[in-house]
Structure 1
Amino acid sequence: MAEAPSYYAIIPANVRYDQNLPGKAILLYGEITALCNQKGFCWASDDYFAKLYGVTKMTVQNWLKSLERENYISREVTYKKDTKEIEHRLIRIEMTPTKKNLGTPTQKNFRDNTTSINKNHSGAEPKEDSIHYKKIINFLNEKAGRDFKDVEGNRKLIRARIHDGYSEHDFALVIDFKCKQWLNDDKMEKYLRPGTLFGSSKKFDQYLDEAKQNRKQQANTTEPQGLSVGEGSARAANYLAELEKQYEGD
């Protein structure tokens, strides 16, 4: 059963007047403080906040990211046993919400994939063996016709983006879209590599947004916009289809 928020919400002056916070992120901060009053943390999901404010889950995620970026909140997640699928997410209010601590954030930033508000939490971070490095690298190889290895250098890039909160599905979307866009471009084809695609959180977020916008534009087309690269294309298609089911609604 979901907990009701406290009657009171607290929004400090430095949050109220922070021009770096978009939309209703300031109101969302107040809502989080009201939900935190009973136990010191908030269990509410992105879906809960989306329905509360009449916006999309992506909008809520952007608000949460902005609050975390300014060090006003921190987030923790719990993963389902032996998987990388997020089971629970909790939010804490930073007791001293000041930008002085931005250089050393207290919690890693994870995207929410939970559907409930009140569940048990173990405080666990993604396990090393729960990140499917080889599948992601093989998908890139099969799409781009390359032969990148499952080595620590490439794992480090993938691990960094996972810790930023991106999912395996996000990697597949970026790879699929950029291969369609760059594979037959003599100038850009060389950039179909882990260092370019996964090396920067800012660039990865840009590529992911482009991929999602492209999917929306293609939603009404009757013919699939697939890319065939040798024998690996069928395996790649199956892998992407499996991820689509796993992360349906993402």
Structure 2
Amino acid sequence: MDKEEFINVFILKSVLRDNRLTFLERLLLIHIISLCKKNNYCWATNRYFSDIYNVATVTISKSISNLATFGYIKTEYDNTSTNNSKRIIKLSEVLNLKLKSIKDNFNAGYKQNFKQYNNKLNKKEDKIYYKDEDGNEYWHGMIIPKNEASIEEQKELKKLLSDICEEE
């Protein structure tokens, strides 16, 4: 089996929603955009497209004429050839500028590592209170000093405990 080639293009919603275009014309425009990516033009023939889409060359010719009429592409003919005229298909300036702005916006918005969406970086496991292996106690990451209770604090604790025991 031959290796398949993928077509990678940006397409405007306005092109896809243009009711004046048939589905074949939309596909044809996508194909033309992909062929124009390298040199900003393509010279594919009606026969080339008709073989791919399995339609008559006349249908391709009408579709290309419609795309030119609606302002998506420009066609130029070189009549200096002895046999046939050679057709060059270019994207219209308006479509070219719109596609360029989409590519620029797409590339500008991409960052290598979005920290706000990285679960590993944002995972907070800070505990308010914890003990280490030596028995030291920590509160918000700071060691809790160990001091003996004063005589007043000991009296207050005894009173609280006696009040609790009386209620039961």
Q: Report the TM-score when normalising by structure 1.
A: 0.34
Question: Which structure is higher in strand share?
Answer: 2
Q: Structure 2-normalised TM-score?
A: 0.50
Work out which of the two has the higher radius of gyration on C-alpha atoms and give 1 or 2.
Answer: 2
